[in-house]
Amino acid sequence: MKAYQLSCGSHTLEIGRRTLIMGIINITPDSFSDGGKFLSMESAITQGEKLVQEGADIIDIGGESTRPFATAVSKESELRRVLPVIEKLAGRVNIPISIDTTKAKVADKAIAAGASIINDISAMRDDPEMAGVVKKNKVPIILMHMQGTPKNMQINPFYVDLLAEIKSFLVQAVEKAVQSGIKRSQIIIDPGIGFGKTAHHNLLLVKDLKKLSEFDLPILIGSSRKAFIRDLVKPETQKIMEPLRPEVKTGTQATLAAAVLNGAQLVRVHDVAETVITLKIIDAIKGA
Tens digit of each residue's pLDDT (9 = 90 or more) over 204-217: 999 999 999 999 99
Which residue, 18, 17, 20, is CA-closest to 8? Answer: 20
Of 17, 8, 24, 13, nearest to 268 (Cα)? 24
Residues 6+ apart with CB under 8 A from 279: 18, 19, 21, 256, 260, 267
Nearest partner of 92 among 42, 162, 137, judged by Cα: 42
Mean pLDDT of the 83-98 span: 96
What residue ranges do the domains of the chain occupy?
Answer: 19-287
pLDDT at residue 160 is higher than 90: yes
* Helix/strand/coil percent split, the chain, to 5: 45, 15, 40
pLDDT class for 1, splitting at 50, 70, 90? low
Residues taking part in catalysis: 226, 268
Report how far apart the first and last C-alpha atoms of the chain are (Å, whole number).
11
Range name among 62-71, 154-163, 261-270 with the lowest pLDDT average: 62-71
Model pLDDT for residues 33-86, shown as the tens digit of each residue: 555 566 688 889 999 999 999 999 999 999 998 777 767 789 999 999 999 999
- The domain defined by 19-287 folds into TIM Barrel (3.20.20)
Question: pLDDT band at residue 32, thresholds of 50, 70 and 90?
Answer: low
Residue 179 CA to its chain's centroid (Å): 24
Residue 100: alpha-carbon gap to chain centroid: 8
Quote the radius of gyration of the chain (alpha carbons, Å). 17
> What was the pLDDT predicted at 60?
97
The pLDDT tens digits of the residues spanning 168-194 come to 999 999 999 999 999 999 999 999 999
Q: Which region among 66-70, 88-92, 217-221 has the lowest average model confidence (pLDDT)?
A: 66-70
Q: Please, which pLDDT band fits residue 122 given cuts at 50, 70 and 90?
A: very high
Dihedrals phi, psi of 120, to nearest 5 degrees: -110, 105
* Helical spans, DSSP H, in the chain: 41-54, 75-90, 104-113, 130-137, 162-179, 199-207, 227-233, 246-261, 272-287
Q: Which helix (H) or strand (E) holds 24?
A: strand 20-26
pLDDT higher than threshold 70 for residue 225: yes
